[in-house]
Amino acid sequence: DLSTGIIYRRRIATCQNVIPEILRKVTMHNSSLSQVSVLKVPDIYLEEESWLNMEKRSMAMKSHCLTWTQYASLSEESVFRESLENPNWTDFTQKGRISVTGAGLLNCVLEAFAQSFLKQGVKK
């Protein structure tokens, strides 16, 4: 954007499905199909948006899952900005939300797995 100087990007990312095989066998109820094993897909698709503000030396990113949208909501927001303590440091803030429906008693198991996976990514 020439008026603000902010560089905006939107892209679709493909990630390998990391859900354990035992959980991929879970069948979900769907109004149009009696039961579907929606977790048994080789790839997961994410949409990512980013805003880079060179003047303020900051970048914000938002991403959400495009796969399994009728059963799960997974989103993440990250902000990178120059530290107030030291201009050579970066302050990093991250938030994430996970919600799974339609898997009955396994909703909590799938949410816990997704939460654990995201925490591992944060540590990296």
Instruction: Give the global pTM.
Output: 0.69
For residue 1, the Cα-to-chain-centroid distance in whole angstroms is 26
Please report whether residue 112 resides in a domain: yes
User: What contacts 96, CB < 8 A, 6 or more positions away?
Assistant: 74, 75, 76, 77, 118
Query: Comparing 37 with 110, which gets the higher pLDDT?
Result: 110
CB 120 within 8 A of CB 95: no
- Which pLDDT score is estimated for 123? 67
Instruction: Summarize pLDDT for 54-99 with one digit per residue, the tens.
Output: 999 999 999 998 887 777 788 889 999 999 999 999 999 988 888 7
**Dist. CA 68–CA 91, nearest whole Å:** 32
Please indicate, yes or no, if residue 43 is contained in any of the structural domains: yes
On whether residue 114 sits in a domain, the answer given is yes
Q: Which residue range is the domain that position 15 belongs to? A: 6-27+39-122
**Residue 105: predicted pLDDT:** 64
pLDDT tier for residue 34 given thresholds of 50, 70 and 90 = very low
Under DSSP, the state recorded for 84 is S
Check pLDDT > 90 for residue 103: no
> What are the backbone angles phi and psi of residue 121, rounded to the nearest 5°?
-65, -40
Instruction: Give how many domains the chain has, as a whole number.
Output: 1
